[in-house]
Amino acid sequence: MGAEHAFSFDIAEIPFSRRGAWMDLSRVVGLHRTVDDIHLVTHTGGMHAVFRLLPVLDGSVVGAEVRATPSVLSWSVGERTVQAAFEDGQGVRFRGDGLGLRFEAGDELTPFTGGYLFTDPVDGSVTLTSYESGRRYRLTTLTGSPTVVGDQRLGRGDRFVEFGGDQDEWEAVLEEIGTAAAPFVATGTFAVLARRREAEFAEYSGRMAGWEAGAAAVKAAYVMWSATVSPAGFVGREAVLMSKHWMDKVWSWDHCFNAIALAPADPDAALDQFLLPFDHQDPSGALPDSVTHSEVLYNFVKPPIHGWAFAQLRERSPRAFTEEERRVVHDRLAAWTRFWLDHRRRPGHRLPYYQHGNDSGWDNSTAFDRGGVVEAPDLAAFLILQLRELSLLAESLGLPTEEWETARHDLTDALFDELWTGDGFVARSVRTGEAVPSRSLLTTLPIVLGELLPGDVAEALARRIEGHLTEWGPATEPVDSPEYEDDGYWRGPVWAPSTALMEDGLRRSGHGALADRVSERFRAVCERSGFAENFDARTGAGLRDRAYSWTASVYLALAADAGRRAEPAAAPAALTGER
């Protein structure tokens, strides 16, 4: 249990938060916006920086050394400190010892923007109402007395609350509330609170990464733990957001990888994570593109990897899923599958199509350069696996399987008849019927069919995947392609989901040595560059959002799998006396 005690992280890379909270403390305040000062940021009603947090000494704002651990964030000027720890509810406790802290809000209130600051005449707490988030932020003084500037001010002007002043010690709690809330009641001292958070994370990381895990695994566990929010708004279950930076949603394929990582440690949480988008399944059977606190988007969908993912959950879970749970999954997967077969096939065509790159999750892949409406090989492969999983679920529930088996065989025939060229798969334009000239890694994703592939097809796909493999994992566009871009999103960088799908398919198709290389190189880039949204395929640098939960999840799953493969084989039963 030693690694987590020494674990600290860069607050510009990973926000300071905790499991269940919708707030964080961070230097990231918006889309690709990182600032020097730490802000209190909320993810209710979208991502909004509510307060700028400024250390103060002798009435002046000063620079301070910042250190973040899973339990405490601290500002230090010599021996003088301010510390912050998350409360048990939706609040953050602050304690100062010789150093003050200014909670600075915006300087303008209009009818549509800004914050209104006032002192509550009942209990003396200071509250900021935020138009942007639609919430209130209540500061309750526990020790000391704050200075309030901008009380009830309308229009332009300073608005802040400052603790410290001429007092060496002070303590306060900041809560995100609705219209009203019961007065704050402390459940222990600041030290007790910090120990509680430390113990919570130690227990979580011990289950997710192992008690003797290395630094990268503990960091991955923290990315997951800190990105987890409690049910609120449209998020009806505990959920792992993709990030508590600007990617603060649950997208309807990203969630599958988080569920897979959770399955060995917490199958109940894994199932909740898996089912969350299905709570918003529309009458056609389609899943939303994304879900977050205050919005559900249906303008795009995401690829149907859910049958593959549930098979992963079954394999990794320490308990069998109940009949009731399997029935819920069966019914949701059935509707999701029928959406693709009934609403996304051109009349007279056997293969389903994407309407846009966003539907595939590979938004700007070169496979969509001739138009977004394409019959893509990955889509057919995912549905084949989903149909197989539906058959297995139906059989376990005593339900008919003929519909799923017939559709699976028909779709398999169509995939090979129409998209296999003899040495690889292609995507075809629905408009013209022509193959899209693309070297995207997306066209190799039928490797996910694993043991269902003929040996020569698996061999050809493995060769192509090897051509994408860089020092840091499989590039989504080969580095020698004219369309390759270092920071091109799906036109070059290494991504976690494509890596996970390929590694699994290679291993199940008999290409274990190549699967090992894919796993090792992806884990190496995470250990070098953290858990970024994606990575430069040539340098291994982390790109875009730097605290992305599906990257952490895939790392944890691949690391756990590698660890199991490295374990000595169990002794034969005859030698152990077991039968």
Q: What's the pLDDT score for residue 338?
A: 98
Q: What's the pLDDT score for residue 569?
A: 56
Residue 482 lies in a domain: no
Residue 441 lies in a domain: no
Amino acid 2 reads G
d(CA 221, CA 203): 11
196 pLDDT exceeds 90?
yes
Tokens of 219: 């960091």
Residue 144 lies in a domain: yes
Instruction: Please answer whether residues 208 and 559 qualify as being in contact, where contact means their C-beta atoms are separated by less than 8 angstroms.
Output: no
Average pLDDT, the chain: 94
428 pLDDT exceeds 50?
yes
Q: Quickly state the pLDDT bin for 468 (edges 50, 70, 90).
A: very high
d(CA 452, CA 456): 12
Q: Phi/psi of residue 565, each to 5°?
A: -65, -25
411, with CB counted inside 10 A (0-12, 13-18, 19+), is buried
In 388-531, where do the E strands start and end? 428-429, 469-470, 473-474
| Average pLDDT score over residue span 167-186 | 93
Q: Quickly state the pLDDT bin for 140 (edges 50, 70, 90).
A: very high
Instruction: Please answer whether residues 27 and 39 qualify as being in contact, where contact means their C-beta atoms are separated by less than 8 angstroms.
Output: yes
Higher pLDDT, 233 or 187: 233
Of 473, 453, 472, the C-alpha closest to 461 is 453
Residue 460 lies in a domain: no
CA distances from 87 to 8, 22, 45, 186, 467 (A): 20, 12, 21, 9, 50
Instruction: Please answer whether residues 345 and 398 qualify as being in contact, where contact means their C-beta atoms are separated by less than 8 angstroms.
Output: no
Q: Write out pLDDT tens, residues 296-340.
A: 999 999 999 999 999 999 999 999 999 999 999 999 999 999 999
User: What is the number of structural domains in the chain?
Assistant: 1
Residue 272 lies in a domain: no
537 pLDDT exceeds 50?
yes
What proportions of the chain, in percent to the nearest 5, are helix, strand and coil? 35, 25, 40
359 pLDDT exceeds 90?
yes
Q: Write out pLDDT tens, residues 82-105.
A: 999 999 878 999 999 999 999 999
Range of the domain at 70: 3-198
165 pLDDT exceeds 90?
no
Amino acid 517 reads R
Residue 26 lies in a domain: yes
Tokens of 21: 């909270």
Q: What's the pLDDT score for residue 167?
A: 74
Q: What's the pLDDT score for residue 6?
A: 64
Q: Write out pLDDT tens, residues 100-127.
A: 999 999 887 877 788 999 999 988 999 9
575 pLDDT exceeds 60?
no
251 pLDDT exceeds 60?
yes
Q: What's the pLDDT score for residue 159?
A: 93
Of 511, 172, 392, the C-alpha closest to 519 is 511
Residue 515 lies in a domain: no
Of 94, 264, 63, 61, the C-alpha closest to 174 is 94
Q: What's the pLDDT score for residue 90?
A: 84
Residue 336: its H or E element: helix 323-343
- Stretch among 162-166, 241-245, 342-346 having the lowest mean pLDDT: 162-166
CATH of the domain at 38: 2.70.98
Q: In the chain, pLDDT over 90 holds for what percent of residues?
A: 91
Burial letters 130-163, b for 16+ CB under 10 A, else e:
bbbbebbbbbbbeebebebbbeebeeeeebbbbb
* Angle separating helix axes 402-419 and 323-343, nearest 10 degrees: 40
d(CA 573, CA 579): 6
Q: What's the pLDDT score for residue 283?
A: 97
Instruction: Please answer whether residues 287 and 308 qualify as being in contact, where contact means their C-beta atoms are separated by less than 8 angstroms.
Output: no
Instruction: Please answer whether residues 438 and 427 qualify as being in contact, where contact means their C-beta atoms are separated by less than 8 angstroms.
Output: yes
Q: Quickly state the pLDDT bin for 64 (edges 50, 70, 90).
A: very high
d(CA 18, CA 127): 23
Burial letters 91-103, b for 16+ CB under 10 A, else e:
bbbbbbebbbbbb
Residue 180 lies in a domain: yes
DSSP state of 168: S
- pTM, two decimals, is 0.95
